[in-house]
């Protein structure tokens, strides 16, 4: 059986709206293994974005644990979290979040700036990744010179540049057409075959049907899990 990459245990997150506590995530528990491609789905306001922020070390939970490769990241001091994110987590965003002043090559190289390798090595790896994603003719183009699909491929290259344990992709196909969406899905499927663990937050059932599992969130709780064949195997 594949290694457990992510364990989420009894995770809760409560915010205060004035003096009123509002629970965004309540008692969520699940495990994801190496090489799984998992979709998280739910309506707006269901808590899925908060869940991703907790898994991605962007927010601290009120209670519960997030364990990545045996490391309880919820117990790590805030000052050490940027290093954890840089080494263990790759992010892909709906709006790409590329730096407009840098080329495609520069955006990917920047992600490795604190990885302890030379600039020559960083540029070589960035070029190799972009070539693998079909962007060999766009290395020196800035984001405003790239299509939406090309920008998202640059963002994926940036996400995998440091060899993360997990890729967290938040609506990665939300800004592209169906043809480009299918190409992005294919990239994620190829990464999965290479052993990469990927979690995708999506509203799109066409994306979800390519995933090994679908985790559905409703009102901050895990309401249902489905296998790739869409046979329900867990409900709460």
- Take residue 97 and report the two structure tokens written for it: 């979040």
User: In this predicted structure, what is the pLDDT of residue 109?
Assistant: 96
6 beta partners: 32, 68
Write down the pLDDT at residue 114.
82
What is the rounded radius of gyration, in angstroms, for the C-alpha atoms of the chain?
Answer: 18
Yes or no: say if 134 and 117 are a contact pair by the CB < 8 Å rule: no
CATH topology (fold) of 37-43+78-235: Rossmann fold (3.40.50)
What are the residue boundaries of the structural domains of the chain, listed by start? 37-43+78-235
Maximum C-alpha span of the chain: 55
pLDDT at 232: 42
Please report, in tens digits, the pLDDT of each residue of the chain (236 residues total): 788 999 999 999 999 989 999 999 999 999 999 999 999 999 988 999 899 999 999 999 999 999 999 999 999 999 999 989 989 999 998 889 999 999 999 999 999 988 888 999 999 999 999 999 999 999 999 999 999 999 999 999 999 999 999 999 999 998 888 888 999 999 999 999 999 999 999 999 999 999 999 999 999 999 878 876 544 434 33
The pLDDT value recorded for residue 95 is: 87
Q: What pLDDT is recorded for position 235?
A: 38
Which pair of structure tokens corresponds to residue 157? 């290259």
**pTM for the predicted model, two decimal places:** 0.89
Q: Which two tokens stand for residue 219?
A: 């009102």
Q: What is the pLDDT of residue 226?
A: 80
DSSP result, 106-120: HHHHHTTTTSS--HH
Q: Which secondary structure element, helix H or strand E, spans residue 105, and what is its range?
A: helix 104-110
pLDDT at 229: 53
Q: In this predicted structure, what is the pLDDT of residue 174?
A: 87
């Amino acid at each position: 059986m594949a290694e457990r990459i992510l364990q989420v245990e009894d995770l809760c997150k409560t915010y205060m709206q004035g003096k009123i506590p509002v629970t965004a995530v309540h008692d969520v528990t699940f495990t994801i293994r190496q090489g799984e491609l998992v979709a998280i789905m739910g309506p707006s306001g269901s808590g899925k974005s908060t869940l991703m922020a907790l898994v991605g070390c962007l927010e601290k939970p009120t209670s519960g644990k997030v364990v990545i490769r045996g490391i309880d990241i919820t117990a790590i001091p805030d000052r050490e979290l940027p290093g954890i994110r840089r080494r263990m987590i790759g992010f892909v965003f709906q709006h790409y979040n590329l730096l407009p002043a840098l080329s495609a090559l520069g955006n990917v190289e920047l992600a490795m700036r604190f990885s302890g390798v030379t600039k020559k090595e960083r540029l070589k790896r960035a070029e190799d990744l972009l070539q693998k994603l079909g962007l060999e003719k766009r290395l020196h183009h800035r984001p405003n010179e790239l299509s939406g699909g090309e920008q998202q491929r640059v963002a994926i290259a940036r996400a995998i540049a440091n060899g993360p344990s997990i890729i967290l992709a938040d609506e990665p196909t939300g800004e592209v057409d169906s043809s480009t969406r299918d190409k992005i899905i294919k990239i994620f499927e190829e990464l999965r075959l290479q052993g990469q663990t990927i979690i995708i937050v999506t509203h799109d059932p066409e994306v979800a049907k390519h995933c090994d599992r679908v985790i559905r969130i409703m009102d901050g709780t895990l309401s249902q899990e489905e296998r790739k064949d869409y046979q329900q195997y867990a409900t709460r």
